Structure 1
Amino acid sequence: MSAVYATFGLAPAIRAGGVLADGGYQVHRDFVDFVVDGRPLLHQLSDLDAVSPLASDVPPAIFTAQVRGLLLEADAPLPGGRHIIYGCPECADLACGAVTAVIERGGDGGDGCDDYVWRDFAWQTEEAVDLERNGYHGIGPFRFEGAAYRAALGALIAPTDPEADATPVPGRRVLLIGARVAVLAKLAAALRTIGVGADITRDAEHVPADELRGYGAVAFGRAVGERERAAVRRAFADAGVDVAYVDGLAPIVPLLVAQIEHALDRSPRERRRLTGLAAADGAAEIEVTSACRVRLTAYRLDRLYRTHARDLFEGVLDPGRHRVPLDRRAVKGESYLVARTAGGVLVTAVTR
């Protein structure tokens, strides 16, 4: 077999967690994605909710074993030299389905024996795989130059200098600041359920800098005044922490969770699938950069401040801008939209 050379890289990615309209939960996962020819490989799989085996919440020994497997320094976990490229974000069980591929050195017995080749991509739910029936015939094979491939993966497990002045990486933890304690408590519980840590406070001024470095986002309730917000921002700035700030749109827990998930996504815009969401004149405008499944949900508060939620659309959208008509009954009064893909989420208010 032969394969044209492709560039290989790695980039941080998330599987956005959330509280769904039906009451279910979707777990937040941070992971390292594979970037082939400058584009996340996962984006070539339009209808897949999955993460790579290089997830941040797996034990270090397992993470190292996964990297060594991709480097072919350990036996393949599946017959035929097959490795899991993407798996279930909830349980990582093969029975739920996984994208697998053969990883081998060289690949043709000729020149380039130092290269790494990924080939025969397939959807797999058991140890045996039927390439004719379940193969991804439009993906790969990819040939990666050996030195660059080893450098990218090896950097994930390379020992670090304990005396190096490393810049702290924003954590998967959120500081909640607001006046409505009951809402904050429910929001914190929902965030913890999906795997995002949350703390509640009204004053961050005297919190030690080391603790502030553990937060990736700060969420303000609508009742928090500008003076309080400025004091919080000043505390984080004095600690040298680059944190995302979220202005809560409404006391609706699933909506606030979606806003926080968006804030925790620090991936470059060019590597995101879902890049635009607006709602006006009875329709939503959604923009995606690659084919993917999108779910659109409306949340609204009635005159008694009760929350109503309704899924309005779910389907695979092609790259580009799309207009989705809105049911006026679902977005009357104070209302908001949440658009969600497996790798990201956007929120907007419905304007009139």
Structure 2
Amino acid sequence: MSAAYATFGLAPAMRAGGVLANGDVQVHRDFLDFIVDGRPLLFQLSDLDAVSPLASDVPPAIFTAQVRSLLGETDAPLPNGRHVIYGCPECEDLGCGAVTAVIERDGDDFIWRDFAWQTAEAVDLQLNGYHGIGPFRFQGAQYRTALGSLLRDADDSEGSRRRVLLIGARVAVLAKLAAALRTIGIGADITHEVGEVHADELRGYGAVAFGRAVTEEERAAVRRSFVRAGVDVAYVDGLAPIVPLLVAQIEHALDRRPVEQRRLTRLVAADGEAGVEVTSPCRVRLTAYRLDRLYRTHAQEVFDGVLEAGRHRIALDAKAVRGESFVVARTSGSVLVEAMAH
């Protein structure tokens, strides 16, 4: 085993929720990812839709127990000293599959080794091991400082602001949007006036979404209310009254991570093509939405495949992106939205 040290840290991450073109729903999950040598460890696991045990919606007692387990203060949850590093974002069933590793102490150091994909109590390292990942040796002081800080503040302030304020003229669209957001785990409220709302209530929001009919004067008044309350929120200008499209815009707005901690970093949509940039190999899905002359919504999945790190140009079905149309690019942890330029 190499004596070289890897750096260890934690950073906010998310599993992007959404309403997909086929009607499926993905639950939104906020969690803390493990940053190893300055890069999210999840990115080393190609196209894995998973979250760490340090999720913001886990009850405080369970969250604390997860942290103490990673610190070696309690027994490992799985046989042979194995810990869940990433698990299913929809449930906690090991049968869905999880990335596990042995966490052990070596003097003052902590070592993560023998990474594997595990679906039962026993694991076959030869068959299901991640042979190119680890082992990682972390300095004890750095490791304990990063995880120990979570015990001092078990409430994740970013996760507590996973609510969106919806403002617009089309009540039916807003109601459907609010219902869709709640379905994937994001709180949503509808209002037409925030000037009289108490500052403490405004602090509960992470984003504000405006419908297309909201005037610039009305938008400015809303922004002033949040400024007076000392609340930094993301603002979303709704592209069209298409609920899955608006959900994707809001998911993107709630993602406050630095660009270097994202897999999907760029989307350009123009002249029947999409330009996509990813930072590591991952599955990318492109969905086109358009409004016809009668303002009916049409949705079509136009690409679904694994892309290598770098920039890619993808030709799109001409019928899917004619007229007023939009493209949503999605990985397991990121969403980008662009209007098609013609």
User: Which residue, out of 195, 214, 218, partners 1:205?
Assistant: 195
The 8 Å contact of residues 3 and 142 in structure 1, kept in 2 or not, is answered as no
Q: Which residue of structure 2 aligns with residue 114 of structure 1?
A: 108
Instruction: Output the CA distance in 2 between the equivalents of 1:101 and 1:274.
Output: 27
The 8 Å contact of residues 170 and 213 in structure 1, kept in 2 or not, is answered as no
Q: Which deviates more from structure 2 when the two are superposed, residues 182-191 or residues 74-83?
A: 74-83
* Offset from partner CA, 1:58-85 (integer Å, 9 cap, x none): 1100000000000011111111100000
The 8 Å contact of residues 19 and 180 in structure 2, kept in 1 or not, is answered as yes
Matched position secondary structure for 1:224: coil
The 8 Å contact of residues 278 and 311 in structure 2, kept in 1 or not, is answered as yes
What is the CA-CA distance between 1:42 and the residue it aligns to?
0.4
Q: Which residue of structure 2 aligns with residue 141 of structure 1?
A: 135
State the one-letter code of the partner of 1:11.
Answer: A
Instruction: Output the CA distance in 2 between the equivalents of 1:304 and 1:135.
Output: 54
Instruction: Output the CA distance in 2 between the equivalents of 1:322 and 1:214.
Output: 38
What is the CA-CA distance between 1:170 and the residue it aligns to?
6.7
The 8 Å contact of residues 39 and 271 in structure 1, kept in 2 or not, is answered as yes
What is the CA-CA distance between 1:4 and the residue it aligns to?
2.2
The 8 Å contact of residues 17 and 26 in structure 1, kept in 2 or not, is answered as yes
Q: Which residue of structure 2 aligns with residue 184 of structure 1?
A: 174
Instruction: Output the CA distance in 2 between the equivalents of 1:169 and 1:265.
Output: 11
Instruction: Output the CA distance in 1 between the equivalents of 2:187 and 2:3.
Output: 44
What is the CA-CA distance between 1:2 and the residue it aligns to?
3.5
Q: Which residue of structure 1 aligns with residue 251 of structure 2?
A: 261
What is the CA-CA distance between 1:292 and the residue it aligns to?
1.1
Consecutive aligned runs of 4 or more in structure 1 exceeding 3 Å deviation:
166-170
State the one-letter code of the partner of 2:309.
Answer: P
* Offset from partner CA, 1:97-153 (integer Å, 9 cap, x none): 0000000001xxxxxx11000000000011110111111111000000001100100
Q: Which residue of structure 2 aligns with residue 276 of structure 1?
A: 266
What is the CA-CA distance between 1:270 and the residue it aligns to?
1.1
The 8 Å contact of residues 297 and 313 in structure 1, kept in 2 or not, is answered as yes
Aligned length: 341
Change (3 A) 1:12 1:159: closer
* Offset from partner CA, 1:247-270 (integer Å, 9 cap, x none): 000000000000000000011111
Q: Which residue of structure 1 aligns with residue 305 of structure 2?
A: 315
Q: Which residue of structure 1 aligns with residue 102 of structure 2?
A: 102
Q: Which residue of structure 2 aligns with residue 232 of structure 1?
A: 222
Q: Which residue of structure 2 aligns with residue 93 of structure 1?
A: 93
User: Percent of aligned positions with the same letter in both sequences?
Assistant: 78
State the one-letter code of the partner of 1:91.
Answer: C
Instruction: Output the CA distance in 2 between the equivalents of 1:268 and 1:204.
Output: 30
TM-score by length of 2: 0.98
Any unmatched runs of 5+ in structure 1?
107-112, 161-165
Instruction: Output the CA distance in 2 between the equivalents of 1:90 and 1:167.
Output: 22
CA RMSD of the aligned region, Å? 1.4
State the one-letter code of the partner of 1:101.
Answer: A
Matched position secondary structure for 1:116: strand
* Offset from partner CA, 1:186-216 (integer Å, 9 cap, x none): 0000000000000000111110000000000
The 8 Å contact of residues 56 and 159 in structure 2, kept in 1 or not, is answered as no
Instruction: Output the CA distance in 2 between the equivalents of 1:85 and 1:4.
Output: 22
Matched position secondary structure for 2:277: strand
TM-score by length of 1: 0.95
Any unmatched runs of 5+ in structure 2?
none
State the one-letter code of the partner of 1:265.
Answer: D
Matched position secondary structure for 2:318: coil
User: Which residue, out of 276, 287, 290, partners 1:300?
Assistant: 290
Instruction: Output the CA distance in 2 between the equivalents of 1:16 and 1:3.
Output: 37
Instruction: Output the CA distance in 2 between the equivalents of 1:83 and 1:152.
Output: 18
Q: Which residue of structure 2 aligns with residue 49 of structure 1?
A: 49
Q: Which deviates more from structure 2 when the two are superposed, residues 280-289 or residues 25-34?
A: 280-289
Matched position secondary structure for 2:320: coil
State the one-letter code of the partner of 1:149.
Answer: Y
State the one-letter code of the partner of 1:232.
Answer: V
Instruction: Output the CA distance in 2 between the equivalents of 1:261 and 1:271.
Output: 16
State the one-letter code of the partner of 1:130.
Answer: D
2:144 pairs with 1:154: no
What is the CA-CA distance between 1:46 and the residue it aligns to?
1.4
What is the CA-CA distance between 1:169 and the residue it aligns to?
7.4
State the one-letter code of the partner of 1:290.
Answer: S
